[in-house]
Structure 1
Amino acid sequence: MNASNAEPRSIDVNADLGEGFPHDAALLERVTSASISCGAHAGDPESIRCTLREALARGVVVGAHPGYPDREGFGRRDRDLDAQMVERLICDQVADLRRLADEAGVEIRFLKPHGALYNQAQSREATARGVVAAAVALGLPLLGQPGTLPETLARSAGVVYIPEGFPDRRYRADGSLTPRAEPGAVLESPDELAANVRRLAAGGLVQTLCIHGDEAEALANASRLRAILDDLGIAVRPFVPGRS
């Protein structure tokens, strides 16, 4: 194929939404996919319904964002659950979200665990096996970090795996995220965020970049991210193919 006729490189931009924060509608103008809370770690049925309707109106692809039922800790505190418990927790929460999504005429198109559930799955075998088993049972693609245990298990199980990067988070040398409990884990400098975006995009290892909807700088970060991708000549498109 002639290079001039080749389709430009693209990447998805996603946000974690439906958690009760005020930026959902505005963020949905800036993203191509949205991981929507299932109501266990945050959010409530009415706010989730509203976010689902807003996503549908903007053509944003919607996924399920289950987390540990720990509202006080926003789902960011570790739990010691076996694989079956993790699978059941996820499937039950996605069933709750699907009921709300059906009311709004929205299809759930992917699975992205939240907080500690996501982070523990990257390296803890029982958690990873439970997450992948849930993705199999639900018939959904799975989002996670590249080169991790969930990716290996998902690909072995025939689950579509979408590698994800985090522009607003600091990374360790081994490619893992710096834990939020450590100072500087969440980037506050626009220059650092820009450098992170360029590194993640240039590496070609991720198919989607995440904006955390609970951060005070969420809207500014989303706008910066889109501007940087535009400057790099990278189109923003959802990773899930469109439906006819």
Structure 2
Amino acid sequence: MPVIDLNADLAEGFGMWTLGDDDALLDVITSANVACGFHAGDPLIMRRVCAAARDRRVTVGAQVSYRDLAGFGRREMDVAPAELAAEVLYQLAALDGIARAEGTRVAYVKPHGALYNRIVRDPVQARAVADAVRAYDPALPLLTLPRSAVHGVAGGLAVVAECFADRAYTPAGGLVPRREPGAVIHDAAAVVDRAVRMAVDGTVLAVDGTEIAVGARSICVHGDTPGAVGLARAVRAALLEAGVRLEPFA
């Protein structure tokens, strides 16, 4: 029986602005990537989501990013390695402190947006992120793509591979940039089919039809797209129907 974790990005509101339905998604997923305040989220939202995750026994992960509230963390930045490591450490420590106050803890780290994609190909920034995680808690795993540069510079950290049911893939196994047409897949049937194929067969079709091996332990469904909750529910139901056991990786 295949075992898969289902993760989503949560706590991505800020102040009076809300984004996504965190409570509804927490009833569906097994791991929550909680924004740490640099691309979205604020202390009140972070605390509320951590408490709600605790109540539902959903694993909490720190979704760290570039310091980019205005761009939602989706603008690539050239940050010196020491500065990037310090900023990742800051975010991780802040969320873990809040999580522990709410009776849970941060169990893994997943970079967000532009930082996520940058460290797939940039070993210097990948090493800075890994250094920050190791400095805080070397037992925390990093969640990234199977072909990420993180795998080569983790320095003893556990690196867990994930895949994206609602994102298009390049033939090289990366994610199609969001600025390109078709980067985000909105057709519910297609997303569900891709999720089941990823979990059962360990593969996904790239935009050119190439079959790519993903071998992922976790599948991400985005919480900031229209109809995200319904889509996540459909993915969960299809995975269970296909005989997949849903279980956190951390």
* TM-score, normalised with respect to structure 2: 0.89
1:9 aligns with 2:9: no
> Per-residue CA shift, 1:84-129, capped at 9, x if unaligned?
2221110011122122222212211101111111110000122111
Candidates 77, 84, 87, aligned match of 1:86? 84
2:163 to 154, 162, 165: 165
**Which of 95, 98, 101 is the matching residue for 2:93?**
95
Q: Deviations over 1:36-57 (max 9, x none)?
A: 0111111111111111110000
1:147 counterpart residue number:
147
**How far does residue 60 in structure 1 lie from its aligned partner after superposition?**
0.5
Contact 1:81–1:126 (CA under 8 A) maintained in structure 2: no
**Larger mean Cα displacement after TM superposition, 65-74 or 189-198:** 189-198
State the alpha-carbon separation in 2 of the partners of residues 215 and 167 from structure 1. Answer: 13
Distance across 1 between alignment mates of 2:180 and 2:241: 32
Contact preservation (8 Å) 2:12, 2:20: no
For residues 25-82 of structure 1, the C-alpha deviation after alignment (integer angstroms, 9 at most, x for no partner) is: 1100001111101111111111111111100000001111111121111000000013
Whole-angstrom distance in 2 between the partners of 1:178 and 1:91: 28
In structure 2, what is the equivalent of residue 5 of structure 1? none
Distance 2:77 2:197 in 1: 32
Higher helix proportion, which one? Answer: 1
Q: Does residue 213 in structure 1 map to residue 223 in structure 2?
A: yes
**Structure 2: segments with no counterpart, 5+ residues:** 14-18, 203-213
* 1:61 aligned partner, one-letter code: T
- Whole-angstrom distance in 1 between the partners of 2:88 and 2:108: 12
1:38 is the counterpart of 2:43: no
What is the identity, as a one-letter code, of the residue corresponding to 2:172?
D
Counterpart contact for 1:110–1:142, Cα < 8 Å: yes
2:133 match: secondary structure: helix
Q: What is the CA–CA distance in structure 2 between the aligned matches of 1:58 and 1:195, rounded to whole Å? A: 27
| Letter aligned with residue 10 of structure 1 | V
Question: What residue in structure 2 maps to residue 4 of structure 1?
Answer: none
Match of 1:116 in 2: 114
Matches within 5 A, 1:197-208: 197-201=195-199, 202-203=201-202, 205-208=215-218
- Cα separation, 1, equivalents of 2:168 and 2:94: 33
One-letter amino acid of the counterpart of residue 12, structure 1: D
Instruction: Work out the number of aligned pairs and report it.
Output: 231
Q: Residue 178 of structure 1 corresponds to which residue in structure 2?
A: 176
- Which residue type is aligned with residue 125 of structure 1? P
Runs of 4+ off more than 6 Å: none
Q: Which runs of 5+ in 1 are unaligned?
A: 1-7
Task: Tell me if 1:135 matches 2:145.
Answer: no
Question: How far did residue 231 of structure 1 move?
Answer: 2.4
2: distance between equivalents of 1:142 and 1:18? 19
CA RMSD of aligned residues (A): 1.3
Question: Counterpart in 2 of 1:25?
Answer: 23
C-alpha deviation, 1:225, in angstroms: 1.0
Deviation at 1:18, TM superposition (A): 0.8
Please report the TM-score for the alignment, with normalisation by the length of structure 1: 0.91
Distance in 2, matches of 1:186 and 1:217, equals: 13
2:242 is matched with 232
Partners of 1:194 and 1:18 in 2: CA distance: 24
